[in-house]
Amino acid sequence: MTSSNLPKHVAIILDGNGRWAAARGLARMQGHQHGAQAVRLSVRACRDRGIPYLTLYAFSVANWSRPKDEIDALMRICQEFAEGEHDELIRRGIAVQVVGDLEEIPTPTRRAMEKLVEDTAGGTEMTLALALSYGGRRDMANAMRALAVRARAGLVIPEEINEHSLRNFLTTSSMPDPDLIIRTGGEKRLSDFLLFEAAYAELFFTDTLWPDFTEATFEEAVATYSRRQRRYGRTGEQVRRLAAST
């Protein structure tokens, strides 16, 4: 597989931790702990293949409705990841950013994440984005609100607002749109993840539960992506002619 066939930005919906634990008679928290290992694997898989952007849907806005003990466990795991992977991410040149609303995250976890973002800012090999307290609809609503404020202040003309100006106010604005979105756990939906950005993303669904996610699963998703023809509204013949001319 050549680098031209690789996605530039992979996004993953991490699903199945609870079911993985239940199938083994374990507490849900243990499923989340095992899922953290799959996070490390996915980061390494992207880094080793030269894929420059990886976004992980770690905690959604809707996840705040889960039982408090599970939320607390997830926040601890996020904090442990930020602290435990800090030096390794710096060493590997991986810049970390957070998409979503960090202000809603408990203080110890938020501070650990903020330090990780700050200390890895110089990384140039890869960007790892963690979606925390993230919701695609809310992100779009916040972006539209910011644009409305600027329009009211006379800083932007309403007639000039388009998809590009809206994109600039999303929390994902520093990254390209995802080329490939992977969802584990057997479900086939986006669950409010990157709704604006996913307009032309290729989707890959697998029954593999997130703690069982392996490099082979990742390779299957990337190989499937490489075989698809991305037309962006063009015909297949147009795409072939364009590829031949470059």
- Per the annotation, does 189 bind a ligand? yes
66 assigned to a ligand binding site: yes
DSSP for 27-72, written as a single string: -HHHHHHHHHHHHHHHHHHHHHHT--EEEEEEEEGGGGGS-HHHHH
18 is in an annotated binding site: yes
The verdict on whether residue 145 carries a ligand-binding annotation is no
- 15 in catalytic set: yes
Report helix, strand or coil for 167. Answer: helix
* Four-point Cα dihedral 225, 226, 232, 238, nearest 10: -150
240 is in an annotated binding site: no
Q: Which of 5, 48, 63, 119 is catalytic?
A: 63
16 is in an annotated binding site: yes
Q: Which residue among 5, 15, 192, 207 is the active-site one? A: 15
CB 14 within 8 A of CB 58: yes
The question of whether 192 is a catalytic residue gets the answer no
Enter the tokens of residue 137.
């609809």
Beta partners for residue 134, in sequence order: 60
19 is in an annotated binding site: yes
20 labeled part of a ligand binding site: yes
Annotated binding-site ranges for Mg(2+): 15, 202
Annotated binding-site ranges for substrate: 16-20, 28, 32, 64, 66, 183, 189-191
| Active site (catalytic) residues | 15, 63
Annotated binding-site ranges: 15-20, 28, 32, 64, 66, 183, 189-191, 202
